[in-house]
C-alpha cells in the first residue's frame, strides 16, 4: 500500500486543526473544532447577562444558578462605560458597579465569563444610551468616536486600564472565571485597524493574557487577519428578526457553515450573539415582551439552535438570556424601561417556557463530549456518505456531523421548509462507524417531525465510561457516569414513536410501555437490543434497564423537562475551578420534579444528598400534596434534604428484579401550609403631593442655573436656526432624563410666537410655557419601528395678555431626553444633539438662555450609589423628593389617581410609603402596575426607594407593568414610592391608577439580599 497520500493527508489535517492560543497563556486554546480550557475540549454554551440591568449584586447568583441549571457553562457580560466612567478622570467600581461580586459568584457556581467591555455597543445590541459610551465623551471629545483620534484615545484609555485591573486576578490563569475578552462590537469598519490595535495593546500592556475576541454583525469578516486582528473571531445572528407583534410569522433558517469555512476555517465557529429574544420599542402598535417570548420561544430554540449545531458552531451565547431593566436613563430612544427581551429568564427573574427547551439542549451538549470535535461530512442538499440518505429529501433536511476520532455520528434533521407546521414522517439510511448502512427506524414505522421541530439522530454514540449506543431516533437528555454506572436518559414526544439500539447485559424492565427486540432478528448483532416506544405511549419516567454497570431511562418530553443535572463538587477540593463541569468535576446527579434545582452536594462519606432549589407556589400551580422528587444518584444515598428539610427516599417503582439496589429513588417535598405562602401587599394610598415645576413662573430665580452661551460644539449636528448660541444639553453636562430650559427676552409687545426645534430622541416630549402660561406640548413619536420622530419643529403661539411689554419675559421648556443614539449611520451618532436645535421669536431676540438638568451634571451629582443615570432635572429630583426619608409632612394629601390640580399641564410629585412583610424563604416577584387604559396624555417617572425604575409614557405605551426586585424593595420593612407626573395637556384630566401587584411566589430562591438604598440628605441638593 502506498502510504504517502495518507501521510500528506495527516500532515494537512494537523496543520488545519492546529491548536493555538493567544501566545500569552496555554490555559485557553482552540483549534478549528472548539475551545480548549486547561487542555479540556469544551462546547462554550452561554447566555448574555448585564449586571447593570440588575443593580442588586446579591441577586446575580440567582441568574447564574438559573443559567447553569439550563446546562449552560458560560455567560457573556457587557460593561457600561457610561456608568463606570461618569466624568473625565473618574472611574467608579463602587457598589453595584463592582465586577468582583460577579466574578466570585461565577467561580462559586461554575460558570465561565466572556467579558465584553468594548467601547461601544452597536445598534442591535444593548440598546443603551450612546451605545454605552460615556456621555461626557460625546460632548468633550472632538475626534470621531471609535477611531484612533488622539483625544478619543485619551478619553478611553483610563477606562480600559481600569477594566484590565479588575480582570487581573480573575482570569482562568489565576483560578478565576474570565476566559475571553471582546475588544469591540460590530465595528464593521476596515479603516479601524489602528483603533483596534490600540485597544488590544492597552490590554496586553496591562497584563491581560486571555484571548481577544470580536463580534461581527452577521456574515462579515472584519479583524480576522492583519492589523487589529483578534485571536478568535465571531459573528452574531438574529434570524427571526424583531416583529413581536406577529410572533407566528417565521423566518427560514440559514445555514452559516459555508460562510464560516470560506472566511475562518482555521478557527472554531463562534457565535457571540445568537438571537435569544427581541428588542421592543415604544408605541401603541408595539407588542408586549410576551410576544417576543413567543417569537423566539421553544419551537424557535428547537429548530434554530440545532441549525447552529448543523453549521458546526461550537461556541455560542444567546442574547439575551436575562434582559433585566433599563432603569433611569439607561435606554436609548428606541426602547422603554423594560429590557425583558423575551429572554429565557424574564425581567422579574422567573423562568419562561423557553428554559426547559434550552435545558434539554444544554444537558445533552454537556453530556456529549464527542460532539465537541466534529467534521461536517455532508447534508441532504449536496450529498451524504455512501448509502446514507433520507426517504423524502424534498420534505426533510439532514446534516451529518461526525467525530473523526470515535466515529460518533450526529444526524441533525428538520423540515426542509423550516417554517412548516406540517407533520412529516420519514425514514433515514445512516452509516455506522463500521460502514454498515442502517435503514432506521427498524421496528417503528417512521421518524416524525411535528411541525417546527428538529432532532438529532445518533449513531455510535458513547455514554458513560464504557458503553456505546448503536443508534437512536429518540433524543438524549443526559449521558454519563453515576456511581460507576453508565447512564443514558432518552426522551421523546408521546405522540411519536421512538427507538434505539444498544448492547445490554442484565434485566430489562417489565414495563409494557416499550418493546424490546433482539438485534439478531432485525439484521444486527446478537449483542444489540432494540428498544422501541410506539405512539401514543403513557407519559412518565420509565426505567428501561438497570444493572450494576448500566442504567437506561426514557421519558416523554414534558417529564424529561422537569429534570436537572446539578454538578457535584468535591467537599474537600481546594481547586478554584472545582465547580466547573469537566474541569473541576465530572460528578453529577439527576433530579426531577421541582420548578428549579440550584445545586446539590454530598458531604464526604455521607449518605445524604443536600439539594437547594425552588418550588413554584404561584396560585394553584403547586401540588397541594407536595412535589414528587425523583433522584438518580450514587447508591450510598439513603435520604435527602430540600433546602434543609429532610426528605425520605425509597426505590422507584416500575422496574424488574435486579442484582443490585436501584439508584433511581423517589421522595416527596411537602407542600407548604397557607401561612407559609401568605403574601399580602398593601393598596398604595395616603399619597402626598407637591408641585414640581415652579420654574414656569416668571419670577422663578434661575440665577444659579448654567448660562447656555456656547457658540461652538463637538457635536457634529448643527443648529437649524437661532443666533449662534448652541443649546445642546450635553454641552452643559445635562444629558440625562428631564432637562429644563429658560429663555429670557425683553418684549416690545409685537411678539406673537416662538419657533422651537427640539431634539429629544424617539418618543420624547417637550412642554412649553410663557410667563407661567401653558402654550403647548411638542411630541416625538415612535410606534413599533415606524412613525419615528426624534425631533420636532413647532410654532408656539402666545395667548393674548400673556406677553409683558417692556419687561423680562420667560419661555420655559420642559424636555425629556430619551437617551443618546447608538451607532447607526455614522460613528458620531452617539453625539446626539439633544436639546434645542432652533429658537426664533417672530419678532425680537432672546437675551439669555439658561439650562438645568440633573443636579451636579457629570461630576457633582450627590447620589453616588445609584449613579449618574438615576435622576433628571425636575425640581423635585434636584431637591431629593424621590428619596426615602424625605419629609413630606407639610405636603397636601392628594390621590395619585386625581392627577394634577385643576387638570393643569405641568409636573408634580406624589409620594407615599408602605410596609412589606414577606415570609423568610420566599422569593416573591412584584411589579408596580398602571391599571388605566393606554392613551392618557401624561408621563410618569416611578421611583422605588430612590431608584428610577420606570418611565411610563401613557399616550404611547406599551409598558404599564414595572417589576421591582428584592434588594430595591425591602421585603421586611418600610418602602417609599414616588411618582413624578408630567401632565402634557391643559384642561385634560389624567388618572394614573398605580397598584403594587404580586406576579409570582416561589419558595427557596436566594437569601440574605443586602439593600443599599441611601436615604435623603441635604448634602449636594438645592
**CA geometry: angle at 564 spanning 559 and 568, to 5°?**
150
Check: CB of residue 654 under 8 Å from CB of residue 835: no
Give dist(CA 900, CA 886) in Å, integer.
Answer: 21
Cβ atoms within 10 Å of 807's Cβ, excluding its own: 12
Cβ atoms within 10 Å of 288's Cβ, excluding its own: 18
Bridging pattern class, strands 74-78 and 112-116: parallel
Is residue 499 annotated as part of the catalytic site, yes or no?
Answer: no
Element (H, E) at 212: strand 212-217
Instruction: Find the largest Cα–Cα distance for the chain.
Output: 109
**Best CA proximity match to 127, nearest among 185, 61, 62, 201:** 185
Give dist(CA 688, CA 152) in Å, integer.
Answer: 47
Bridging pattern class, strands 212-217 and 232-237: parallel
The SS3 of residue 517 is: strand
The SS3 of residue 541 is: strand
Burial class for 1008, CB neighbours closer than 10 Å (0-12, 13-18, 19+)? exposed
Check: CB of residue 211 under 8 Å from CB of residue 182: no
Give dist(CA 145, CA 151) in Å, integer.
Answer: 10
Is residue 273 annotated as part of the catalytic site, yes or no?
Answer: yes
HSE-up of residue 344 (Cα within 13 Å, Cβ side): 32
User: C-alpha 384: how far from its chain's center?
Assistant: 38
Check: CB of residue 761 under 8 Å from CB of residue 848: no
**Best CA proximity match to 341, nearest among 67, 117, 118, 126:** 126
Element (H, E) at 69: helix 60-69
**CA geometry: angle at 143 spanning 155 and 327, to 5°?**
55
Give dist(CA 1022, CA 862) in Å, integer.
Answer: 11
Alpha-carbon Rg of the chain, whole angstroms? 31
Among 200, 273, 499, 762, the active-site one is 273
Check: CB of residue 855 under 8 Å from CB of residue 871: yes
Give dist(CA 486, CA 632) in Å, integer.
Answer: 12
The CA–CA distances, whole Å, from 771 to 703, 851, 985 equal: 17, 16, 17
8-state DSSP, 1004: S
Quote the cell numbers at residue 155. 478619553
CB proximity list for 241: less than 8 A, separation 6 or greater: 251, 278
Quote the cell numbers at residue 149. 483620534
Bridging pattern class, strands 639-642 and 608-616: parallel
Find out whether the peptide bond into 441 is cis, omega within 30 degrees of 0.
Answer: yes
**Best CA proximity match to 919, nearest among 1003, 1011, 795:** 1003
**Best CA proximity match to 695, nearest among 907, 887, 901:** 907
Give dist(CA 589, CA 605) in Å, integer.
Answer: 16
The SS3 of residue 163 is: helix
The label of the residue with cell 424534498 reads 394
The SS3 of residue 88 is: coil
Among 48, 127, 171, 186, the active-site one is 186
CB proximity list for 781: less than 8 A, separation 6 or greater: 283, 762, 763, 787, 788, 789, 956
Check: CB of residue 498 under 8 Å from CB of residue 445: no
Check: CB of residue 53 under 8 Å from CB of residue 77: no
Residues taking part in catalysis: 186, 273
Amino acid at each position: 500500500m502506498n502510504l504517502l497520500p495518507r501521510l500528506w493527508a495527516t500532515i494537512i489535517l494537523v496543520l488545519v486543526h492546529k491548536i493555538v492560543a493567544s501566545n500569552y497563556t496555554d490555559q485557553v486554546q482552540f483549534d478549528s473544532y472548539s475551545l480548549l480550557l486547561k487542555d479540556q475540549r469544551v462546547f462554550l454554551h452561554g447566555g448574555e447577562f448585564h449586571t447593570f440591568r440588575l443593580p442588586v449584586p446579591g441577586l446575580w447568583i440567582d441568574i447564574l444558578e438559573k443559567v447553569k441549571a439550563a446546562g449552560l457553562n458560560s455567560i457573556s457580560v457587557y460593561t457600561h462605560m457610561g456608568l463606570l466612567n461618569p466624568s473625565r478622570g473618574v472611574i467608579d467600581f463602587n457598589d453595584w458597579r463592582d465586577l468582583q461580586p460577579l466574578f466570585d459568584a461565577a467561580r462559586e457556581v461554575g460558570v465561565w465569563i466572556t467579558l465584553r467591555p468594548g467601547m461601544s455597543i452597536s445598534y442591535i445590541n444593548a440598546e443603551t444610551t450612546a451605545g454605552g459610551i460615556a456621555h461626557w465623551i460625546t460632548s468633550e471629545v472632538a475626534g470621531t468616536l471609535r477611531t484612533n483620534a488622539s483625544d478619543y484615545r485619551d478619553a478611553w484609555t483610563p477606562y480600559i486600564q481600569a477594566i484590565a485591573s479588575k480582570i487581573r486576578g480573575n482570569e482562568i490563569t489565576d483560578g478565576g472565571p474570565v476566559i475571553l475578552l471582546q475588544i469591540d462590537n460590530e465595528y464593521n469598519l476596515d479603516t479601524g485597524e489602528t483603533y483596534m490595535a490600540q485597544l488590544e495593546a492597552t490590554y496586553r500592556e496591562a497584563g491581560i493574557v486571555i484571548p481577544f475576541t470580536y463580534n461581527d454583525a452577521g456574515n462579515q469578516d472584519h479583524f480576522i487577519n492583519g492589523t487589529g486582528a483578534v485571536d478568535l473571531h465571531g459573528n452574531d445572528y438574529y434570524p427571526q428578526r424583531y416583529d413581536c407583534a406577529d410572533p407566528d410569522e417565521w423566518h427560514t433558517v440559514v445555514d452559516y457553515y459555508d460562510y464560516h469555512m470560506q472566511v475562518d476555517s482555521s478557527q472554531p465557529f463562534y457565535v457571540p450573539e445568537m438571537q435569544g429574544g427581541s428588542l421592543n420599542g415604544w408605541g401603541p402598535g408595539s407588542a408586549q415582551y410576551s410576544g417576543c417570548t413567543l417569537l423566539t420561544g421553544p419551537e424557535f430554540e428547537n429548530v434554530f439552535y440545532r441549525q447552529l449545531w448543523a453549521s458546526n458552531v461550537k461556541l455560542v451565547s444567546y442574547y439575551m438570556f436575562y434582559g433585566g431593566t433599563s432603569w433611569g436613563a439607561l435606554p436609548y430612544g428606541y426602547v422603554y424601561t423594560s429590557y425583558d427581551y423575551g429572554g429565557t429568564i424574564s425581567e422579574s427573574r422567573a423562568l419562561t417556557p423557553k428554559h426547559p427547551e434550552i435545558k434539554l439542549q444544554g444537558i445533552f451538549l454537556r453530556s456529549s463530549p464527542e460532539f465537541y470535535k466534529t467534521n461536517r461530512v455532508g447534508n441532504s442538499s449536496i450529498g451524504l456518505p455512501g448509502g446514507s440518505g433520507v426517504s423524502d429529501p424534498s420534505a426533510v433536511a439532514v446534516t451529518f456531523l461526525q467525530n473523526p476520532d470515535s466515529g460518533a455520528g450526529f444526524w441533525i434533521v428538520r423540515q426542509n421548509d423550516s417554517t412548516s407546521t406540517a407533520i412529516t414522517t420519514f425514514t433515514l439510511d445512516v452509516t455506522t462507524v463500521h460502514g454498515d448502512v442502517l435503514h432506521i427506524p427498524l421496528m417503528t414505522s417512521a421518524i416524525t417531525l411535528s411541525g417546527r421541530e428538529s432532532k438529532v439522530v445518533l449513531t455510535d454514540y458513547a455514554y458513560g465510561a464504557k458503553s456505546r449506543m448503536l443508534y437512536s431516533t429518540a433524543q438524549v437528555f443526559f449521558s454519563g457516569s453515576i456511581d460507576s454506572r453508565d447512564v443514558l436518559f432518552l426522551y421523546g414526544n408521546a405522540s411519536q414513536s421512538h427507538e434505539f439500539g444498544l448492547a445490554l447485559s442484565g434485566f430489562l424492565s417489565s414495563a409494557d410501555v416499550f418493546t424490546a427486540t433482539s438485534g439478531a432478528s432485525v439484521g444486527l448483532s446478537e449483542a444489540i437490543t432494540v428498544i422501541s416506544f410506539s405512539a401514543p405511549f403513557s407519559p412518565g419516567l420509565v426505567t428501561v434497564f438497570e444493572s450494576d454497570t448500566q442504567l437506561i431511562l426514557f421519558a416523554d418530553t414534558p417529564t424529561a423537562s422537569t429534570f436537572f443535572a446539578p454538578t457535584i463538587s468535591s467537599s474537600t477540593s481546594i481547586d478554584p475551578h472545582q465547580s466547573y463541569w469537566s474541569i473541576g468535576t465530572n460528578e453529577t446527579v439527576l433530579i426531577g420534579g421541582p420548578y428549579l434545582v440550584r445545586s446539590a452536594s454530598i458531604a464526604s462519606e455521607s449518605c445524604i444528598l443536600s439539594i437547594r432549589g425552588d418550588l413554584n407556589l404561584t396560585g394553584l400551580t403547586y401540588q397541594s400534596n407536595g412535589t414528587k422528587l425523583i433522584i438518580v444518584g450514587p447508591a450510598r444515598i439513603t435520604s435527602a434534604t430540600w433546602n434543609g428539610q429532610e426528605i425520605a427516599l425509597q426505590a422507584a417503582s416500575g422496574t424488574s428484579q435486579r442484582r443490585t439496589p436501584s439508584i433511581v429513588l423517589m421522595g416527596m417535598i411537602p407542600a407548604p401550609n397557607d401561612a407559609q405562602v401568605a403574601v399580602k401587599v398593601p393598596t398604595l394610598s395616603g399619597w402626598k403631593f407637591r408641585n414640581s415645576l415652579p420654574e414656569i413662573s416668571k419670577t422663578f430665580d434661575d440665577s444659579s442655573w448654567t448660562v447656555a452661551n456656547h457658540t461652538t460644539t463637538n457635536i457634529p449636528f448643527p443648529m437649524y436656526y437661532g443666533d449662534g448660541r448652541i443649546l445642546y444639553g450635553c454641552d452643559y453636562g445635562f444629558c440625562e432624563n428631564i432637562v429644563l430650559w429658560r429663555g429670557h427676552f425683553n418684549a416690545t409687545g409685537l411678539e406673537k410666537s416662538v419657533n422651537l426645534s427640539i431634539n429629544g430622541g424617539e418618543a420624547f416630549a417637550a412642554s412649553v410655557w410663557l410667563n407661567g402660561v401653558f402654550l403647548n406640548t411638542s411630541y416625538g413619536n415612535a410606534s413599533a419601528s415606524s412613525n419615528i420622530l426624534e425631533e420636532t419643529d413647532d410654532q408656539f403661539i402666545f395667548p393674548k395678555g400673556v406677553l409683558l411689554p417692556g419687561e423680562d419675559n420667560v419661555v420655559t421648556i420642559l424636555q425629556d431626553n430619551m437617551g443618546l443614539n447608538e451607532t447607526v449611520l455614522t460613528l458620531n451618532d452617539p453625539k446626539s444633539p439633544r436639546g434645542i436645535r432652533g429658537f426664533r421669536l417672530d419678532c425680537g431676540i432672546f437675551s439669555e438662555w439658561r439650562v438645568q438638568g440633573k443636579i451636579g451634571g457629570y461630576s457633582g451629582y450627590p447620589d453616588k450609589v445609584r449613579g449618574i443615570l438615576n435622576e433628571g432635572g425636575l425640581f423635585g429630583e434636584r431637591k431629593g423628593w424621590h428619596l426615602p426619608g424625605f419629609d413630606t409632612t407639610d405636603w397636601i394629601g392628594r390621590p395619585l389617581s386625581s392627577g394634577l390640580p385643576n387638570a393643569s399641564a405641568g409636573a408634580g410629585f406624589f409620594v407615599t410609603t408602605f410596609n412589606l412583610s414577606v415570609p423568610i424563604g420566599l422569593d416573591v416577584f412584584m411589579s408596580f402596575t398602571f391599571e388605566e387604559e393606554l392613551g392618557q396624555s401624561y408621563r410618569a417617572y416611578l421611583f422605588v426607594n430612590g431608584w428610577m425604575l420606570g418611565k411610563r409614557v401613557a399616550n404611547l405605551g406599551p409598558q404599564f407593568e414595572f417589576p421591582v426586585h428584592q434588594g430595591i424593595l425591602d421585603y421586611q420593612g418600610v418602602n417609599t414610592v414616588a411618582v413624578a407626573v408630567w401632565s402634557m395637556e391643559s384642561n385634560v384630566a389624567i388618572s394614573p391608577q398605580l397598584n403594587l401587584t404580586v406576579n409570582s411566589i416561589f419558595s427557596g430562591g436566594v437569601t440574605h439580599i443586602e439593600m443599599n438604598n441611601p436615604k435623603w440628605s441635604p448634602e449636594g441638593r438645592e
